[in-house]
Amino acid sequence: MRSSQIPDEWVNKWCDELNKTGTLSLDYYAQIVILTDEQREENIDSDAVLNSIVGVWWGILNNQGLLHFYLKLDSTERALLFSDTGLDAHMLNQTQRQLYTEMFHNGSRWTWGA
């Protein structure tokens, strides 16, 4: 049971954002994608707000590659990703380049939400 626990603050923030906007931010999806199946079952499936939003799961399932790539970016790279100039692929380290390549060459789809 203890291995499935995550900070209550995470779940509370996810629920607050879902209640306010009807969706989750990329940062929150990235937090969820790294949870174990046991943690998701215990904390999302059992929560009325999170479990009621089918888009949460589809967003995670359809964007796992993107989310794992996003997690490897530092705060500067994340800011550039959403800037007018964008993130220059030459700035990526080897791990980031590998994840980026896998998103497009292993049949993965890069979509921005459910």
pLDDT of amino acid 94 = 92
pLDDT at 71 over 80: yes
The verdict on residue 111 lying in a domain is no
pLDDT of amino acid 16 = 93
pLDDT grade for 58, boundaries at 50, 70 and 90: low
Cα separation, 111 vs 114, in Å, equals 8
pLDDT tens for each residue of 5-19: 888 899 899 999 988
The verdict on residue 12 lying in a domain is yes
pLDDT at 21 over 50: yes
Looking up tokens 């998103």 gives: 103
Burial of 45 (C-beta count, 10 Å sphere; 0-12/13-18/19+)? exposed
User: How big is the CA angle at 81 (ends 30 and 49), to the nearest 5 degrees?
Assistant: 30
- Is the model's pTM score more than 0.75? no
The verdict on residue 69 lying in a domain is yes
Q: By three-state DSSP, how is residue 82 classified?
A: coil
The verdict on residue 110 lying in a domain is no
Residue 34 contacts by C-beta under 8 Å, 6 or more apart in sequence?
71
Q: Which amino acid is at 69?
A: F
Cα separation, 34 vs 84, in Å, equals 29
Give the domain extent around 78: 2-105
Question: Rounded mean pLDDT of 35-58?
Answer: 77
Question: Rounded mean pLDDT of 82-101?
Answer: 87
The verdict on residue 89 lying in a domain is yes
The verdict on residue 26 lying in a domain is yes
Looking up tokens 């626990």 gives: 5
Q: By three-state DSSP, how is residue 97 classified?
A: helix
pLDDT grade for 112, boundaries at 50, 70 and 90: very low
pLDDT of amino acid 114 = 33
* Domain total of the chain: 1
